[in-house]
Amino acid sequence: MDIRITPIEADYFYHIYNRGINGEVIFKTERNYQFFLNKLKENLLTVSDIYAYCLMPNHFHLLVKIKDDKDLNEIKIHKEKHFEKGLHASQNSFSKQFAKIFNSYSQAFNKENNRHGSLIESPFKRKLITSEDYLRQCIIYIHQNPNSGGFQNYKYSSYKTILSNSLTSLKRNEVIEMFEDRENFIICHQKETDYQF
């Protein structure tokens, strides 16, 4: 099915991933990474919960769970008129929020780097997560994405945050529970995952 018409449904997990146009670099500086993470927090947390992420120089991965219809409808009531169908329906809220992130980030990146035009491929890619085992494998895959220097120390991934006690908007406790406990989370990440798109 065409990704542009594949619906994103409430109360489901999705692996969201995308890259720069033609594989171009989309994160060059610490400020780029932080700006993108701030945009995710600012725009996605209204429509989804974030479970894992990894930002690489030319692409990114996210694991999100779309809020249930009740939560999405409450957001709509507070922000704008609620629609059951069409562009403004609650199931399109996630895509609209992602468009805001991409547009805002691309404009800032282009201005900083004296470039113009599209930066990130469109539409963004997504994979519905269909089982608990697949969900765990997806988390491991996302965290293991940085190959050089060891993923455990990579700055732009949720791995270290999940293991820390620092304040976070990630669903840290829920992720640890998926692996039973913190120790098993670490052990499972030491094995190569068989996650496939």
pLDDT tens-digit readout, 34-69: 999 999 999 999 999 999 999 999 999 999 999 987
Average pLDDT over residues 29-36: 97
- Which residues, in sequence order, are CB contacts of 42 under 8 Å at separation 6+? none
- Which residues, in sequence order, are CB contacts of 30 under 8 Å at separation 6+? none
Among 7-11, 57-61, 189-193, which range has the highest average pLDDT?
57-61
The whole-number pLDDT of residue 77 equals 39
The pLDDT confidence band at residue 147, using thresholds 50, 70 and 90, is confident
The pLDDT confidence band at residue 91, using thresholds 50, 70 and 90, is low
- Which residues, in sequence order, are CB contacts of 191 under 8 Å at separation 6+? 140
Cα within 13 Å of Cα(18), Cβ side: 19
**Which structural domains are found in the chain, ordered by start?**
13-189 (3.30.70.1290)
- CA-nearest of 101, 98, 146 to 124 is 98
Q: Return the DSSP state at 155.
A: T
